[in-house]
Structures are given as C-alpha cells and as structure tokens.
Amino acid sequence: MGQVIIRNLDDAVVASLKRMAARDGKSLEQFLREVLEERTYRDKETFLEFARGVRERCRPSDLDPTDLIREDRDR
C-alpha cells in the first residue's frame, strides 16, 4: 500500500481533524483514509455518470449513410 505524507499543515487544521476523528471513534489515520477513499470514489462515480451521459447522447443513429447520400444526389 502507498503512503502519503502531508507537511506544513496548520496546527489548527490538525487539531480539528483529530476532533472529527475522535467524534467518529476513529484514529486520525483511519479517519483521513476513509475521507480520501470516499472522495476518490465519489469523483470516479461523477466521472462515470458524465461518461454514461455522453455515451447516451452519442449513440449511433439508425440512419444508413448510403440512404442519406442517395437522398442528396436525388435533390
């Protein structure tokens, strides 16, 4: 598993994160791991929803290009 080290965090930020973790009955490490994982999965899900929408809008049409060319020639 990978590791992340974050330097130069304001002491007030660290204290606030520790309080939030304690409220949830978790260690700071566990709390931050869950926050980061949730954010990663949420962003992935947002992207997948966007991709599904694009795919839906860009579905191949039932039109035959040959028929369209013939129609243009007949004009």
Rounded CA gap, 49 and 35, in Å?
Answer: 21
Q: What is the pLDDT of residues 5-56, one digit of tens each?
A: 999 999 999 999 999 999 999 999 999 999 999 988 888 888 898 888 888 8
Domain ranges within the chain, ordered by starting residue: 11-74
Apex 51 CA angle, 61 and 57, nearest 5:
25
| pLDDT for position 30 | 96
DSSP letter string over 9-49?
Answer: --HHHHHHHHHHHHHTT--HHHHHHHHHHHHHHHHHHHHHH
The yes-or-no verdict on residue 59 having pLDDT over 90 is no
| Whether the predicted model's global pTM rises above the 0.75 cut | no
